[in-house]
């Protein structure tokens, strides 16, 4: 017998959103599930136009970029985030064998994790973002 699912908490009122730059629905849904459990909400960009609209909607708490994204250039996405929201942390992830993408993203100022490490560290990473947002809002 399994326990009934826990209700999702209400979003943190006034918290900035997480900007997720990726089209991979399965991976994005994992991020969304963890974020919602912490009271955080996602904004998704799967195209350059969506990215521009999401950045125009306000500075995100963090930008998470799939460095293997094909629907838009992930390095252009990092540059656009850096220009529009220079204080926003950018977290990139890629397969551990994608050395060139990892190196380039780091040169662009992103923190980079291997895809497997990102999945394992996701709850802790987003918990930290949620705590930063709560602290920012209570200040």
pLDDT confidence of residue 7: 67
pLDDT confidence of residue 4: 63
Give the model confidence (pLDDT) of 6-46 as tens digits. 666 777 878 889 999 999 999 999 999 999 999 999 999 99
Tell me whether residue 74 is in a domain.
yes
Mean pLDDT of 52-58: 94
Give the model confidence (pLDDT) of 79-124 as tens digits. 999 999 999 999 999 988 889 999 999 999 899 988 888 889 999 9
* Spatial distance between the Cα atoms of 106 and 111, rounded to a whole number of angstroms: 6
Q: What's the domain count of the chain?
A: 1
Tell me whether residue 66 is in a domain.
yes
**DSSP one-letter code for 122:** H
Kindly report the CATH number assigned to the domain that includes residue 43: 3.40.50.2300
pLDDT confidence of residue 129: 92
Name the CA radius of gyration of the chain, rounded: 15
Of 84, 113, 86, the C-alpha closest to 101 is: 113
Give pairs for 127-136: CB < 8 Å, separation 24+: 127/38, 129/18, 129/38, 129/40, 129/61, 129/62, 130/12, 130/15, 130/38, 130/39, 130/40, 132/61, 133/12, 133/15, 133/16, 133/40, 133/61, 134/12, 134/15
Tell me whether residue 13 is in a domain.
no
- Give me the domain span that covers residue 25: 18-138
Tell me whether residue 113 is in a domain.
yes
């Amino acid at each position: 017998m399994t326990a009934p699912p826990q209700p999702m908490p209400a979003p943190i009122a006034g918290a900035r959103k997480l900007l997720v730059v990726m089209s991979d629905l399965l991976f994005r849904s994992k991020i969304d599930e963890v974020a919602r459990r912490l009271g955080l909400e996602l904004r998704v960009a799967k195209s350059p136009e969506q990215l521009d609209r999401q950045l125009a909607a306000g500075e995100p708490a963090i930008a998470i970029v799939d460095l293997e994204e094909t629907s838009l250039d992930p390095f252009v996405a990092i540059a656009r985030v850096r220009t529009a929201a220079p204080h926003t942390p950018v977290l990139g992830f890629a397969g551990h064998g994608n050395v060139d993408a990892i190196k380039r993203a780091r040169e662009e100022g992103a923190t980079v994790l291997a895809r497997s490490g990102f999945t394992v560290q996701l709850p802790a990473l987003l918990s930290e973002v949620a705590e930063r947002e709560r602290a920012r809002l209570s200040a």
